[in-house]
Chain A
Amino acid sequence: MKVLVFIEQRDGKIKSSAHEALTVGTKLAGSPDNLAAVLIGSGAAALAPQLAGWGANIIFTADSADLALYNIQSYANGVDAAIKAFTPDVVLGVASPMGRDLFPRLAARFDASILTDLTSIEASGSGITGTKPMYSGKCIADVASAGAKITFATVRQNVFPANKAGSGTATSTPVTAAAGDGKIRTIEIRKGKSAKPDLTEASVIISGGRAMGNSDNFKILTECADVIGATVGASRAAVDSGYASHDMQVGQTGKTVNPNLYIACGISGSIQHMAGMRTSKVIVAVNTDKDAPIFGIASYGIVGDLFQVVPLLTARFKALLK
C-alpha cells in the first residue's frame, strides 16, 4: 500500500515521534517507493535530508517563511497538496497535539476513514486495522477502515519503536501549502516554562498526590526527576488542592501518559488517575496506605512515607547513575 507520513517539526526540529511513525510507515508500505513523507514549515527543505535512511524516497516539502508558526489552515493545505501529488492509501501521523488537530480536518475534507491514537496497526487490503484504547484505557477497541479511498491514521506516542530502515533517499520535492482564508491567524506560540519533555512524551514520570501537602514539597520530586531525567506530574487531587498546575495533571481530565517508568508518590490511585497512566510499562507506587488501589497495578511498591522514601530513592539513583 502507498503510505504518506506526516513529519512533525517545531522550531526547525523534527520530532522524535516522527521516527516512530516512519518505522510504522516503512512496514506498512513494504518498499521505499510506496512510502513518502510530508514536512511543512519554514526551512523544511533543508531538514528533509535528515530523513535519509528512514524508509522514504520522496519527502514533500512545503517551505516558506509564512509557515514558521503552525497554522491549521496552511498546514492542512500542505498535507492536502502532498496527498494529491502522491495519492496514498494511508496518511499516517502521530497522536500529538498537532496530529490531533490536522488529521480530523483532513479526514473530513477527503470524506475518509480516520483511526487515531492506535497502539497497534496492520495493513488490511487498501485500508488498515488496529487497536486503540477507549474509555481512558478501561478497554481496547479493534478498529478498521471500511470502504473509504483514504485512511487517516495516527499512532500513540512512545508505543512503537523507532528503527532506521536503512533505505530511502529522502529526496525533497516541493509542494505548496496555500495560505488559509485568514479567519484563523496564529499570533504566537508561547514557550513553556520547563525544558523537560511534556508528560505525554516523557519516558520517565514521577508524580505526586494529595499527600504532598503543599506545592513546596514537590521539590523532592523535582530533585529525583532531575537525577533520572523524569518529568514531574500530579494527581487531580494535588491539582485541585492547588499544589500543582493543571498542565501537570495525569488522569482522565488531565493527560494520558505512556512512559517506560511511572513513579506514583502519595497517590492512592483513583479510577480517573489510573485511567491516565495504567499503560506505563513499569509502575512504582509509594503510599502509606497498604490498601491503596495504586498497589494493584504497581510493578513495585513501597508501603511507607513518601517524605522518607523519595529522598532515599533519589540518593540511590544518583549513586547508580554517577
Chain B
Amino acid sequence: MKILVLIKQTPDTEAKIRLSSDNKTIEQGDVKFIINPYDEFAIEEALKLKEKLGAGEVVIASFGGDSAKELIVKGLAMGGDRGLLISSAGLEGTDSLGIAKVLANAIKEEKADLVFCGKQAIDDDNMHVGTMTAEILGWPHVNVVTKFELTGTTARVEREIEGGQVEVYDVTLPAIFGAHKALNTPRYASLPGIMKAKKKPFDIKTPADIKVDVGSLKAKSIITGYKYPPEKPKGKVFAGEPVEAMVDKVVKLLREEAKII
C-alpha cells in the first residue's frame, strides 16, 4: 500500500507575526518554520499503518518553496520512506483551490492508495485543501479524524464535531483523511532515523512535471492586505486586597460596566 502524507510548513506556534510596512505581506525574516503541528499526527498515523500492515511505502510530500525540503526530511527522519517536493516557485500567489489541484495531480501521478494530511494548517486556518483535493480526485474524505482503523480497503474512522459528538464513518479507499490531535502521539525522530533520512530518496518536481495545467491555478480567493487585531483597552486588574473585596469589584464591573451578568 502506498500512503502519501501531505505536509505544510507553517510558522512556529510561538512566532510573533509581523506585517510588512505596506501591510501587504507577512515578514518572514527571522520566523522559525515547523511542520504544521496537525501534519505530525498525519505522519504518525501513516507510519503506524505501515507498521501494522508490515509492508508499503510512506511518501512525505509538500507543495512549497525550497525551505520545505528540510521539513520533509524531518518527516523522513520520523520514518517516511521517500520525500516529494512539488516546487511552488512562481505560484506563490495561488489559492487553496490551486494548491488542491496541484496535490490532486501529485496523488494521481504517485498512484497513492491512501492520503493523510493535517486537519488544518495553523497559518491560514482554512481547512480547505485536503477536502478540496478529495473532491477533485472524486475520492471520499473525512476531516478532523480522531480514530482510524483499516480492515482490507475499508477504514472505520471517527470525526469530532461540536458538543463532543462523534461522527462514525466507513470509508472505501482510496480516500483522504485529515488528522486531529487526539488521533495519536507523534514519535520523535531517533538519531539513526535522522542520519538515515538524508540518504532516503527525495524527488523535486515542478507542477508541469506532474501535468498540472498551470493556467488553471490563478487565484480566485485572494488576500488584499493584513492588519493586526484591535488592541484591547487596558483592563482593570485588582491585587493585594482581601479576596472578597476584589471579587465584589469584578462582579460589579461585569454587571454594571460590561453588562454581561
Q: Which residues of A contact B (CB under 8 A)?
A: 70, 72-73, 96-98, 100-101, 104-105, 107-109, 111-117, 129, 133-148, 180, 182-194, 196-198, 200-201, 228, 246-247, 249, 252-254, 256, 260-261, 271-272, 275, 278-279, 281-285, 290, 295, 297-305, 308-309, 312-313, 316-317, 320-321
9 A-B pairs, CB-CB below 8 angstroms?
A114-B96, A117-B125, A145-B222, A184-B170, A201-B162, A252-B13, A283-B235, A295-B235, A316-B251
Residue B246 interfacial (CB < 8 Å): yes
Question: Smallest distance from the beta carbon of B43 to chain A beta carbons, Å?
Answer: 15
Q: Which residues of B contact A (CB under 8 A)?
A: 11, 13-14, 16-17, 19, 26, 37-38, 95-97, 100, 122-129, 131-136, 139-144, 156, 159-172, 175, 181-182, 218-229, 232, 235-240, 243-244, 246-248, 250-251, 253-255, 258, 260-261
The reply to whether A72 and B225 form a contact with Cβ atoms under 8 Å apart is no
The reply to whether A301 and B237 form a contact with Cβ atoms under 8 Å apart is yes
Nearest residue (CB) in B for A152 is: B221
The reply to whether A300 and B250 form a contact with Cβ atoms under 8 Å apart is yes
Known: A139-B26, A186-B167. A320 touches B11 (CB 8 A): no
The reply to whether B251 and A133 form a contact with Cβ atoms under 8 Å apart is no
The reply to whether B221 and A145 form a contact with Cβ atoms under 8 Å apart is yes
Q: A96-B162, A278-B229 are in contact. List 4 more A-B contacts (CB 8 A).
A: A101-B143, A143-B221, A299-B235, A320-B261
The reply to whether B132 and A105 form a contact with Cβ atoms under 8 Å apart is yes
Question: Smallest distance from the beta carbon of B81 to chain A beta carbons, Å?
Answer: 27
A contact residues around B16 at 8 Å (CB): 138
Query: In the complex, A183 Cα to B175 Cα: how many Å?
Result: 9
B contact residues around A192 at 8 Å (CB): 163-166
Question: Smallest distance from the beta carbon of B60 to chain A beta carbons, Å?
Answer: 21
The reply to whether A284 and B254 form a contact with Cβ atoms under 8 Å apart is yes
The reply to whether B232 and A290 form a contact with Cβ atoms under 8 Å apart is no
Question: Smallest distance from the beta carbon of A100 to chain B beta carbons, Å?
Answer: 5
B contact residues around A317 at 8 Å (CB): 251, 261
Nearest residue (CB) in A for B221 is: A113
Of the candidates B127, B182, B227, the one having the most CB atoms from chain A within 10 angstroms of its own CB is B127
Query: In the complex, A155 Cα to B136 Cα: how many Å?
Result: 24
Query: In the complex, A191 Cα to B129 Cα: how many Å?
Result: 28
B contact residues around A190 at 8 Å (CB): 165-168
Question: Smallest distance from the beta carbon of B27 to chain A beta carbons, Å?
Answer: 11
Query: In the complex, A143 Cα to B95 Cα: how many Å?
Result: 11
Known: A134-B123, A321-B261. A313 touches B13 (CB 8 A): no
Query: In the complex, A215 Cα to B143 Cα: how many Å?
Result: 29
Choose among B17, B156, B167, B243 the residue that contacts A138 (Cβ–Cβ < 8 A).
B17
Known: A134-B123, A304-B246. A144 touches B222 (CB 8 A): yes
B contact residues around A188 at 8 Å (CB): 167-168
Query: In the complex, A13 Cα to B7 Cα: how many Å?
Result: 38
The reply to whether A261 and B100 form a contact with Cβ atoms under 8 Å apart is no
The reply to whether B144 and A97 form a contact with Cβ atoms under 8 Å apart is yes
Question: Smallest distance from the beta carbon of B145 to chain A beta carbons, Å?
Answer: 12
A contact residues around B125 at 8 Å (CB): 117, 133-136, 256
Query: In the complex, A186 Cα to B165 Cα: how many Å?
Result: 14
Question: Smallest distance from the beta carbon of A286 to chain B beta carbons, Å?
Answer: 9
A contact residues around B144 at 8 Å (CB): 97
Question: Smallest distance from the beta carbon of B259 to chain A beta carbons, Å?
Answer: 9
A contact residues around B258 at 8 Å (CB): 261, 282, 299-300
A contact residues around B182 at 8 Å (CB): 246-247
B contact residues around A141 at 8 Å (CB): 124, 223, 225-226
B contact residues around A272 at 8 Å (CB): 13-14
Query: In the complex, A295 Cα to B167 Cα: how many Å?
Result: 38
The reply to whether A184 and B13 form a contact with Cβ atoms under 8 Å apart is no
The reply to whether B164 and A105 form a contact with Cβ atoms under 8 Å apart is no
The reply to whether A183 and B228 form a contact with Cβ atoms under 8 Å apart is no
Known: A186-B168, A190-B168. A108 touches B100 (CB 8 A): yes
Query: In the complex, A278 Cα to B132 Cα: how many Å?
Result: 30
The reply to whether B237 and A303 form a contact with Cβ atoms under 8 Å apart is yes
Query: In the complex, A300 Cα to B256 Cα: how many Å?
Result: 13
The reply to whether A139 and B229 form a contact with Cβ atoms under 8 Å apart is yes
Choose among A139, A278, A281 the residue that contacts B19 (Cβ–Cβ < 8 A).
A139
Choose among A111, A116, A145, A180 the residue that contacts B128 (Cβ–Cβ < 8 A).
A116
The reply to whether A183 and B171 form a contact with Cβ atoms under 8 Å apart is yes
Nearest residue (CB) in B for A117 is: B125
Question: Smallest distance from the beta carbon of B132 to chain A beta carbons, Å?
Answer: 4
The reply to whether A135 and B123 form a contact with Cβ atoms under 8 Å apart is yes
The reply to whether A300 and B164 form a contact with Cβ atoms under 8 Å apart is no
